[in-house]
Amino acid sequence: MSKLNERKIIELFQSRLGNTNFVPEDVESFKIGKKHIIVKVDTLVESTDIPPEMELVDAARKSIVSCVSDFAAKGVRPIFGIVSLTIPKKLSRSNIESLAKGFQRAAREFELKILGGDTNEGKELVINFSLFGISEKIVNRKGAKANHVIITSGPFGYSAAGLSILLKNKKSSRKFGTKAKNAVFKPNCRLMFGLKNKNYFSSSMDSSDGLSTTLNEMSNQSKKKFVITKMPSENDVFDFASSSRLNVNDLILNGGEEYEIVATVNASNLPKIKKYAKKHRMKLYEIGYVTKGKGVFHKKNGKLIKIKDGGWQHLQKS
């Protein structure tokens, strides 16, 4: 196995390709005339990304959700997509139809056109989806200013709880189990929230690699300290963690696959964002503030506890 983790591998390739000034972003972009072409690619692999009980129709949809979520965080509307499939011989016609149905469902949900793609044969199912859009500008991961408020577009911890139920046989009530597993199988992303509120964000990022990763990346790029005063979750997640003897902060901060938007905003713009959230029955979470300094910290009982980047990363040491 490679001794390089995902981040180091990306840095190696960027160096070899001559992109010495590469700065990680949710999407890639290049300019043609006055417009920016926005591109995102993501890969879903059967053995690592499709847990037990997940239906192929949901896996296909999720492969698109992961890309759309990045567009949402940048305030960009997706327009076109291309899908590449590696298909094992074991898949039946019914399985293939389920995949097609999932792509169709996502395309309708996010109002995008899938132009075509490529098919190949392999040992396991691999879905590679590329998404394209056009924008005059995007909201960057950097840009947070001192005294800005840190918000999230939804709660955290449900997907990690769902995976612990599916993969570690943790027990829960039927109601919570369904909710947590659906967070894994049928995740939502906040496309319209991002499109309608992008002008109020000073910085933003998709949270699918984990909240701790997102906060640390935004803090590093903005060269500011992020102080978290409230964890963005609900009582049932805390109850599940307690009954299952799991660290609730680990579920909330390091689980990943929430597909929420994490953003910093000037306090003067917060009422406008709250108004949108209320109108669309969204629960907005104010989780902390930005200040001078560096690093991410949880403020608890008057003390600052450092939040390390513990989110999802491929090829990391186990």
Domain residue limits at 89: 14-135
Q: Kindly state whether residue 281 falls inside one of the protein's structural domains.
A: yes
Average pLDDT of the residues in 100-111: 98
Segment holding 149, helix H or strand E: strand 149-152
255: CATH: 3.90.650.10
How many domains does the chain fold into?
Answer: 2
Q: What is the pLDDT of residues 252-278, one digit of tens each?
A: 999 989 999 999 999 999 999 999 999
Q: Give the number of C-alpha atoms closer than 13 A to the C-alpha of residue 159, restricted to the C-beta side.
A: 26
Banded model confidence at residue 37, pLDDT cuts 50, 70, 90: very high
Q: What is the pLDDT of residue 20?
A: 67
Tell whether 166 and 266 lie within a shared domain: yes
Angle (CA) 134 139 143, round 5°: 155
Tell whether 210 and 299 lie within a shared domain: yes
82: CATH: 3.30.1330.10
Residue 203 has pLDDT above 50, yes or no: yes
Tell whether 229 and 258 lie within a shared domain: yes
Phi, psi of 238 (to 5 degrees): -65, -40
Residue 1 has pLDDT above 50, yes or no: no
Phi, psi of 268 (to 5 degrees): -70, -20
Domain edge (last residue) among 135, 161, 194: 135
Average pLDDT of the residues in 224-253: 98
41 alpha carbon, distance to own chain's centre: 13
Q: What is the pLDDT of residues 176-193, one digit of tens each?
A: 999 999 999 999 999 999
Tell whether 98 and 19 lie within a shared domain: yes
Q: Kindly state whether residue 313 falls inside one of the protein's structural domains.
A: no
Tell whether 125 and 154 lie within a shared domain: no
Tell whether 76 and 213 lie within a shared domain: no
Tell whether 115 and 174 lie within a shared domain: no
Q: Kindly state whether residue 293 falls inside one of the protein's structural domains.
A: yes
Q: What is the pLDDT of residue 225?
A: 98
Tell whether 50 and 178 lie within a shared domain: no
Tell whether 156 and 302 lie within a shared domain: yes
Q: What is the pTM of this model?
A: 0.93
Residue 67 has pLDDT above 70, yes or no: yes
